[in-house]
Structure 1
Amino acid sequence: MVAEKFGYTFADTEIIKMVAEMANVSTNFVETVEKEAGGKFSKFISKMISKPLVERILKDERGYIDEEIYLDYLVLIIAQMADDGDVVILGRGSQYILNDHQDAYHILLIDTFENRVKFMQKNYDLSKNRATQVVKNEDKRRFNLYRKLGKTDYDNPALYHLVLNMSRVNLDEAFKLVSHLVGP
């Protein structure tokens, strides 16, 4: 909504596509690495299979990505997008990556687990079970990503310009508050 109002680019899945392109792998593979970042399985695979081995096997015909490469590309892409300006970046540790970027605003939306499930049901036409699983998976992905970044305080209000409790503010009010903060 905010990106549309100000004519900004909305960067969410676009970041995944750019990482995949840079690493010469599929977007599904990048999503898997992102989802598993910091997880036991991912650590096991990273230790057992070295990049040089994978490169020799693939003979550079296909790309390679692991957690470290993913994070390197992620930082590079998010920083470049911010430098280009006029972009809304959804998550992916951007509050850390762009912590000192003078034109970046960091906004955190919080809500109860139950309300987040209801939001997914209503806005994405999901069953309660599927919506619950999506919210749990997203929480796990976020936790693992931040752990890999060496951060565990992603919900610390001091990291953000604005924290909105969506249990107490409706979407229209939140839109107005964010628009007022970031608007020209």
Structure 2
Amino acid sequence: MRVVTISATYGTGGSVIGPAVADRLGVPFVDRAIPSAVASELGVTLEEALAHDDRAESGFGRLLTGMMRLPTVTLGGVELYVPAGMPLTPDEFAARTEQVIREIARVHGGVILGRAGAIVLADHPGALHVRLDGPLRRRVLQTAAYSGIPEQEAKRVVNDNDRARRAYVRQFYRSDPADPGLYHMVLDSTVIPVTTCVELIVAAASAVG
């Protein structure tokens, strides 16, 4: 069973490249299914689970960037609002997310986007770990073009999401997601076309898997 983890900064096409790689390898693409599975296992709502997810632009990212200013706690050096009575703690979410990722890799294989997959599955036999990145300016331009929003707004979205995803990895794993030592392959997908990125990842996954 092929396993590929993809860490993608915002604006690098991870949500396009990931499914394409999964389709080529004949394995599931795992992204939004993770918070849903965690919510089900913990007996909380999907909204509560998404509040702690590193890929939920309307959840974890917004909380970490201070868009809600109510009673706060400190998470990874950043103040965030925690809704009163919310039963799901950040540590619970991270621990259950790890369990879901490991189970998916063991039972089904798959292409796993985000959630520190390269760290969680660092010792998984045959797993390929990929980083998609690129200069901020090009990522902002790609986001603006894809979303149809002004460049200044795209820059805010990119920066907000970058901060949230860095905070997630640093808080729970004391690591920098930009560390190239975590990955077998680092691609600048703001320059390398999507189809070429997919081909490179598929070829590498086939070689190591």
TM-score, structure 2 length as denominator? 0.71
Contact 1:7 1:86 survives alignment (8 Å): no
How far 1:143 moved relative to its partner?
1.2
> 2 CA distance for matches of 1:134 and 1:157?
24
* 1:179 corresponds to 2:198: no
* 1:126 aligned residue: 149
Displacement, 1:17? 1.0
Tell me the distance in 1 between the aligned counterparts of 2:182 and 2:112. 15
Verify: 1:6 aligned to 2:25, yes or no.
yes
Give, in angstroms, the shift of residue 170 of structure 1. Answer: 2.0
Question: Could you list the runs of 5+ residues in structure 2 that have no partner in the other structure?
Answer: 1-19, 54-59, 65-74
* Structure-1 separation of matches of 2:160 and 2:39: 21
Q: 2:187 maps to which residue?
A: 164
Find the partner of 2:140 among 112, 117, 136.
117
Hey, what does 2:49 align to over in structure 1?
30
Unpaired segments ≥5 residues, structure 1: 55-62
Greater Rg by CA: 1
Mapping of 1:55-94 within 5 angstroms?
A: 64-94=87-117
Does the 8 A contact of 1:18 with 1:77 survive in 2? yes
Whether 1:41 aligns to 2:64 is no
TM-score normalised per structure 1: 0.80
Residue in structure 2 matched with residue 139 of structure 1 by the alignment? 162
Structure showing the higher strand proportion among its residues: 2
- Change in Cα spacing, 1:104 to 1:85, as seen in structure 2 (3 Å) is farther
CA RMSD of the aligned region, Å? Answer: 2.4
Paired residues of 1:24 and 1:64 also in contact (CA < 8 A): no
Percent sequence identity is 24
Change (3 A) 1:68 1:16: same
Structure 2 distance, partners of 1:136, 1:113, is 9
Change (3 A) 1:125 1:27: farther
Q: Tell me the number of residue pairs that the alignment of Structure 1 and Structure 2 aligns.
A: 169
Structure with higher RCO (Cα < 8 A, 6+ apart): 2
